[in-house]
Amino acid sequence: MASSRLPPWTYAAVVVVCGLGTFALVGHFLGLFRSPAPVARAPVPDRLRLPSPIDPNSLPPHRAAKYAAARAALVPAFEAAFDGPVRIHDTVLWAVEDYALFLAHPHPPDALVAHCREALRRAVIDGCKDPFVTFAEWRVDVEAGTDTPGESGFRFAEALGRTKYPAVYRLEAHLDAMDRSADLLERPPAERVAAAGQARDTFWVAFAEAARDPSPVAEALLLAAVRELVGRDAPVCGTPEENYKRATAALAAAGAREHVRLTLDGFDAARAGRAGTGPVARAALERARTAFQRAWELEPACPAAPTELIAVTAGLGLGADEARRWFARAIEADPDNPRAWAALVDAVGPDRGGAVPDALAVARSCRERGAWDAGVPAAAAVAFDVARRHRPNFLTTADGWAEVQTFFDAWLAARPADWHARTLYARLATDAERYEIAVPLFDALKDRPRPGVFAGPSEYAAAAARSRGMIQWAAVGVGAAPYPGYMKLGEPARRAAARAARRGWFARTYRDSFNTAYPADGPGRAEALAALNAVADAEAPGFLSGGVADAAWEALERAVAAGCDDPLVATLHARFGAATGLGAADGDKLRKAAARLAASRYPVAVRLPAALSATDRTAGGSAEQFADLWPLFTSAAADPDPTARQELLRAADRLLVALPAGRAADGERLSAALAAGGDAYGALVVSAAGLITAGWAETAGPRRADAPRLREASALLERAWRLAPERPEAPTRMLAVATGLREPRSVAERWFVRAAAADPDNYEAVRWFARYRTLTADGNDGGQALFAVRSIAYDFGRWEGGFGLLASEVDASLLTTLYRGRLDNPLIWQQMEQPLQTWTQADPACRYAKTVYAQMAARAGQHVVANRLFRQLAGRPWPGVFTSPEAYREAAERSRRAAGGVQFD
């Protein structure tokens, strides 16, 4: 019953808007109490003060109350601590008051951010050395996207922690110092550990002091800090369990109000419920529900409890109506409550028994509400992501994109320069391949995206480069017409048509030839026809995986059990059994069945793959049998059907790989056989393939710069492409040439465009493009290159066609090259898990996905997740993922023990 997870960037979008930092949460949490009327400003000389873009007297009532409370708390603290020159007192005071206005907005308008930034900067320039003002300037800089990382940021936080400001205003400084202690890369590891420990100790001293403050402001800040520490597991901040115990003791010793202590209990129980499964998780969520409900009864003006109850009641399966009830109470307590909107999206969506339209309805409500500076619109990003996870092509369909575009058109019409809107819209437009929309947004951002929307600078740079590159291709790089780039790769209608054509060819070929070859009254005839139909379903994506492959093997198993001894059925039964791991891994059985089929009266399109299996040396075949294949290739080349020719070149690839050393001349015989059958294109591609194999060896030696065989292969492939630009093999192999020669990126991208345009399911082209981008990248550009390829693999939703595997492989490369194997980092694990989670959701019966997911989760120490997946696999992993059956069993047992033998629903 673990709650559904969303990708890191959508959480981060809501987190940034909600302001999970304690100071940034002041505005959000000040709704916990009834505030007095706004405090009027003292008269000041207008010529000295920067005019504010927002008049405090024009604020809506709930924000006016938040501003008044923040000003009433901050100004006395500043006056008591100020020890600077009298001449700068008013300038600094105005900056502090403007900062209080900043805190009254969950999503401050860009104009207000710029105003506060300038006011605080002026105070510092005038000579103010007050640590609070310095810290406030830094916090506003973070909001503006100019964070100060590492040592400097740590010192800003640490300096405020050493002042005599009220403890509640030092809490975030200590929290931030803890977080940033991990970034002190210039310090030795022992010093980083010591710095983190010191920050933890000073935080808890300040927390105990703040807990004695009975003001609603202190309660708001305490709840913000507690939710941060109890709700996440960050090693530098301590474990959630440890933090819960320390916070409980501090609140009890200070005599904190009961609703605050109950809310803390609810935070802890809700975290346990999200992390667990089965009855254990349900019991924890019930405890959370009881604690939050009692806290709300004691203090209904506090939004924390009803906001959390939206997710808790949804996790308990109490229905959308109950979630909406708590949502209404949370919004009543604080109309500026983006967390409540985001929780409602999940509560009514498909992960909780609802539907995608229900989640999108929340996004429309966000738009109709129009509270653009309340942070509410960011919850719509969560709704769009829910739709993408359950409808992988959501963004590339007309209806899906219309939802997104209508929302952002309204947002930018109200706030044309909104930094957050531009960043989110640029991200979604890139993913939707709406590059003509994305590029102006990237240009306006000037390489300063709002933090948290993209996974990091590398992902942002990759998305911007991809969008600009596609616009350039569309303008000049691809020519007039049939090569619109890999934009077409994600187009559902075109991809569906291509798959339907492949499926139709397999179904027709198998059915017609079986009907001719097998007796009308033969045993198992009906079961065999059904099995051949299932095989056609499995062959359609061009990549054998997923539930359709398992279903095909099961149908073939029924046909064999019914007595069908046809050589085609027997060969497919052996092949699918070995490929899925559901049958015995008996190479001899496959070779014998294939030999029967190759010698049968079946048409050449059916016999050719079987003949290749019969000659497979790894299964006992003989290289001397190759001579028998040339007539088959010649005959098959005469078939003009596009799928038939695609399968013919796949068979040729299999043969070229199987050729032993010293028999390279057979490659030329194969090329001649295709030419004799009338497939000049195929003959050129096969000739080039032999040269590519030898040419890659040249690139490892002193002749890498020219690699003459690769140059020759390039010329052949260019000729082939001009003969048949609608076929994918030549441009796909050109990517291998471009990679070996380390051609300029524009060359590789041009051929990638052509390969993808020719085949919307071109898994091999994306894999070669990934290899090219990785091998030709320098330094950190390698990470950007991998992010770019990951976006291609992930965003097009080709999960059943191998792109899920490719996305996870790219992530594994990122893990090694960019993240130094740090799977124990929660943020890195979230990124690694994202494509695996989406792959399993898009294809729930796919054992391949579950096997890869289980392996990665076990490596990451996510043993509850791994144990659940191992139980679902039930001892039937997809072959080739684990190194051996023993390795699989060891990993499964290790996760079972580490998860405590958890039982699942």
Q: Which tens digits make up the pLDDT trace of 486-536?
A: 444 555 666 677 778 888 888 888 888 898 889 989 999 999 999 999 998
Q: Which residues pair with 238 in a beta bridge?
A: 234
pTM of the predicted model over 0.75: no
| Residue that wins the pLDDT comparison between 236 and 381 | 381
Indicate the pLDDT class of residue 182, thresholds 50, 70 and 90. Answer: low
pLDDT at 290: 95
Residue with tokens 């109000």: 257
Of 144, 19, 62, nearest to 371 (Cα)?
62
Which two structure tokens, joined as six digits, stand for 773?
């981008």
The distance between the two most distant Cα atoms of the chain, rounded to a whole number of Å, is: 106
Q: List the one residue out of 201, 175, 180 whose CA is nearest residue 192.
A: 180
Across 115-129, 351-365, 449-463, 520-534, least confident range? 449-463
User: What single-letter DSSP state applies at residue 620?
Assistant: T
Q: State pLDDT tens for residues 82-94.
A: 877 888 888 888 8
What does the domain layout of the chain look like in residue ranges?
846-905
CB count, 10 Å around CB of 519? Answer: 8
Q: Is the C-alpha dihedral spanning 405, 411, 414, 420 positive or negative?
A: negative
Q: Give the DSSP letter string of 882-900.
A: SSSHHHHHHHHHHHHHHTT
**Average pLDDT value for the chain:** 77
d(CA 853, CA 840): 8
| For residues 239-249, average pLDDT | 89
Give the pLDDT confidence score for residue 24 in this predicted structure: 38
Is 731 buried (19+), middle (13-18) or exposed (0-12) by CB count in 10 A?
buried
What's at 143, amino acid-wise? E
Cα 876 from Cα 870, distance rounded (Å):
9
pLDDT of residue 687: 87
Percentage of the chain beyond pLDDT 70 is 76
Residue 459 has pLDDT above 80, yes or no: no
Q: Which residue would you say has higher pLDDT here, 369 or 901?
A: 369
Mean pLDDT of 44-63: 69
Any idea how long the chain is?
A: 905
Query: Could you tell me which residues come within 8 angstroms of residue 51 by beta carbon, excluding any fewer than 6 positions away?
Result: none
Query: HEC profile for 15-66?
Result: HHHHCCCCCCCHHHHHHHCCCCCCCCCCCCCHHHCCCCCCCHHHCCHHHHHH
The model's pLDDT over 470-484, given as tens digits with 9 standing for 90+, comes to 665 444 433 333 233
Q: pLDDT tens, 591-608?
A: 788 888 878 888 887 787
Residue 529, pLDDT score: 93
Closest by CA to 307, choosing from 29, 521, 564, is 29
The pair of three-digit structure tokens given for residue 307, joined into one six-digit string:
């906001």
Nearest residue to 551 via CA among 847, 802, 315, 281: 847
From the centroid of its chain, how far is CA 645? 36
H/E segment holding residue 505: helix 492-517
The region, left, alpha or beta by phi > 0 then psi within -120 to 50, assigned to residue 258 is alpha
Task: Determine phi and psi for 234, rounding to 5 degrees.
Answer: -115, 115
The mean per-residue pLDDT over the stretch 310-316 comes to 91
Q: Is the pLDDT of residue 335 over 90?
A: no
Q: What is the dihedral of CA 855, 859, 861, 864, to 10 degrees?
A: 0
Chain centroid to CA 806: 13
Average pLDDT over residues 240-260: 90
